[in-house]
Structure 1
């Protein structure tokens, strides 16, 4: 997990570095990625790797992680089920970085669907952060 003495400047990750850092992406974190497809934003992926100072792990990774990067689109299935599955791989204090398509995309996920899935999984969502054509939210367990 990251510490207060993080050395990576979020601007090193380009214009996406600051919003991703605000979401909680930090040096030393292990980040696993779910929902990768040809429509993901490669700049977002690269910025996360820069901030975390390491590669994104793929779905075959079987260790514990600090961050679950979840690309989710309308029609991908049951979001609550996917969030519950994601929670099983997270270190205590970790979070889910949920990325959903922005408002101009036809596969956009309605805000109430995210809220409902979070309620089902006892998660709290932070405010939405624009990340290119995607919107990011930090999901954490309720205290």
Structure 2
């Protein structure tokens, strides 16, 4: 899907997808690439000192607010989950991320890019997401060091 910002977005269904080259030297416009807009409540989980601060700032600029943490206690539109290989069981982390997420909401799983320390095998994400009750839809390169995988929660039945 071409875009004026040259971001990388690819479908993950049907195996290996063709990807567009991205300028990953800056995180500018990350909120747009992640579909985050002003007024959304975004919860950030798994932050650590290795998190990309310019990416975080771009997200907060895009939503025009600070991200909330795990103690927020209300429903959120989206969860940004930083996850590394040594953070434990991915399925457990994804299930925990669902706690405050609105039905039909999105988890953006941020992982170190392939070849970087702490990188997660994409197959582990593909296998873990359905176990946690999530659907994997797209991936995006959002910074030089971090990749994002979009996981959608099921819509709640009223």
TM-score, with structure 2 as normaliser:
0.75
Partner of 1:5: none
Match of 1:7 in 2: none
Q: How many residue pairs end up in the alignment? A: 130
Query: For structure 1, which runs of at least 5 residues remain unmatched after alignment?
Result: 1-9
Cα deviation digits, residues 12-54 of structure 1 (max 9, x gap): xxx5354532322111111111111110000110011011111
Alignment of 1:109 onto 2:151: no
C-alpha separation in 2, matches of 1:93 and 1:101:
26
**Does structure 1 residue 40 correspond to structure 2 residue 51?**
yes
> Which region of structure 1 is more displaced relative to structure 2, 42-51 or 85-94?
85-94
Residue number in structure 2 paired with 1:141: 153
Q: TM-score, normalised by structure 1?
A: 0.82
Number of the residue aligned with 2:99: 88
Moved over 6 A (4+): none
- Quote the RMSD (CA, aligned, Å): 1.8
How many Å separate the matches in 2 of 1:57 and 1:142? Answer: 22
Work out which structure has the larger RCO, using CA pairs closer than 8 Å and 6 or more positions apart in sequence: 2
Higher helix share: 1
